[in-house]
Amino acid sequence: MAAIVRLSSVCRRGVKPLFYQSTLLVRPVVVFHKEQQPHPLTARIHSSPPLYAGSDSNAASLHWTAERVLSIALLALGPVAYFSPGPVIDYSLAAALTLHGHWGLGQVLTDYVHGDTKVKLASAGLFVLSTVTFAGLCYFNYNDVGICNAIALLWSK
């Protein structure tokens, strides 16, 4: 027999043994299995990872991507806030900072809090905290000097 070339290594795909039927993996169910359509990005924005996501949902990976996009946006806001401060930047910073913090603390929560009720309680508490934070920052932007000015005034001390 000539040298056997490992097609899997060439094609970078897993080799499935011939007689391994994927139907062995599935549970025959009477219910009709709906084909999953990919949802448009706008319909899938959550402020926290949904606890009810099914096993073939890509919500978690979309959340991951959104976290990185927000981080980059926040990085860009820094120099913009320095060079052209104003109400637009103030409110953008308020939103970006609060959401970045909310998602970051959400990850800390996921790492250290276990058990359904504890997770639910902690998530609720985090939601309240983030809402109050955003409300407070917006209040400050509207009724007081605003975030950019506040930092400038503080630093001029």
CA distances from 99 to 8, 18, 35, 67 (A): 44, 49, 33, 9
**Contact with other proteins (CB under 8 A): which of 33, 37, 38, 40?**
33
Tokens standing for residue 11: 């094609």
Contact 46, 82 (CB under 8 A): no
Q: Which of 9, 27, 37, 79 binds other proteins (CB under 8 A)?
A: 27
Phi, psi of 3 (to 5 degrees): -60, 130
- Under the criterion CB under 8 A, does residue 36 sit at the interface with other proteins? no
- On whether 91 is known to bind a ligand per the annotation, the reply is no
Sole binder of other proteins in the list 47, 70, 97, 127 (CB under 8 A): 97
Q: What is the CA radius of gyration of the chain?
A: 24
Question: By the 8 A CB rule, do 147 and 92 touch?
Answer: no
Chain positions 106 to 145 lying near other proteins, rule: CB under 8 A, are 108, 114-116, 129, 132-137, 139-140, 143-145
**Position among 39, 76, 78, 87 found at the interface with other proteins (CB under 8 A):** 78
**Do 90 and 148 meet the contact criterion of CB atoms below 8 Å apart?**
yes
Give the interface with other proteins as residue ranges (CB under 8 A). 1, 4-5, 7-8, 11, 13-23, 25-33, 51, 53-56, 68, 71-72, 75, 78, 97-98, 101, 104-105, 108, 114-116, 129, 132-137, 139-140, 143-145, 150, 153-155, 157
